[in-house]
Structure 1
């Protein structure tokens, strides 16, 4: 009899895609380790599910990762799927973002995934398993005022594609999700820093801070998670364009010249006009 497959998902708070990943994989028969910095934020039905183990896990803490590894090893000697989903957004001009906040975001969005892969590497190799890194179309498109977030996701894409080559000889697949719109609380939870008094961007502070209550291009989390599950099950590897609008974004990136892509990014949130006004005021 085949042993039950196992999966670990980071960032499983209610309202996010992590919880949807747990639902999809548990329904497929996996034993799922659902993790979050605050386990109480994980939906209660997952606490009650017989094939789900709830664990506290902060991917920016080496001690927390080590403790989670010990708990996982009590139940299994292998890990079939590691989903690095924990992450956070940030809206702030690069000139106004503190280095402390920028490094903190990289620690979560990029180094957290690397730390998890290193810690659980032996279990993944034992299972000939799969790493799934949840990146973003923001790692490909230059959306203004999201430079640190975009850069952290671009690093995850580049890192993931390189890790894919490095881990293939060990029998481990690495998938990098270039994720489009998902109907979650992402925009509600996105953090915006306090503007310095001398910021050039104070005239459009309200626009930068404004986030839609829901993503107009958002795919439902359960449909998104099911799509990813199917890709894992059929042995996919490398970059996977998933989520609302991702396919169109991929086609546009291939089809459009760079100037058109920049124009499209600037028009996001009427920023082209507003930025033009700022530049005019600053330069006279």
Structure 2
């Protein structure tokens, strides 16, 4: 919705610019005539200039307000998703009992005995079936169990199952662009934030495309291997807007070292 609003605003801005340029050209032509039909053409010209300045100033303020609203909405949505994890690679079966499947993964593969059925709020497939395995969305009752599962996800390495955060659409776009520029190994997510490891080994937490673009301007020559670039471009969880399942375990490991 926010992207459509911004697009609509940009179209309106182009329309204003187009019409005003057209009117300004006509006004200049009228002014160039030795004996203009309008006796007060200079006043009209001045009024037009003032009006044009007012319109552009107003549109600039409106654009700023839309950007702030979009940012606030994204932050709110991120907070609403903070207790959610996505599990990728769990084979779909008819009449499956996902709660039991997830709990079995916790106990058998992640070696977590502290999480029980009463600790899971929601557990279901994400999106509609389109012939490929859909991720499983798991919402925990509290953050402690969510962190426990997230911090243990490296135990799933080699199992075909991966865990990712449920990023908003905006942050997922930032995440994918960050991986494409800085490489898969230098960009991951942590509690809804996108973490970028710059060439000088600085960890930067970002949440918007504007912040990423500033980093890309500071470090324009970051290169990726063909394999990393392909992984970053091709990763697209169905409606999950989460990070790449293939690289998630490794990112979490690095992130935890940074928090210690």
Fold similarity call, TM over 0.5: no
TM range (shorter): under 0.3
* Alignment TM-score, normalising by the size of structure 2: 0.22
Flag the structure with larger Rg: 2
* Alignment TM-score, normalising by the size of structure 1: 0.21
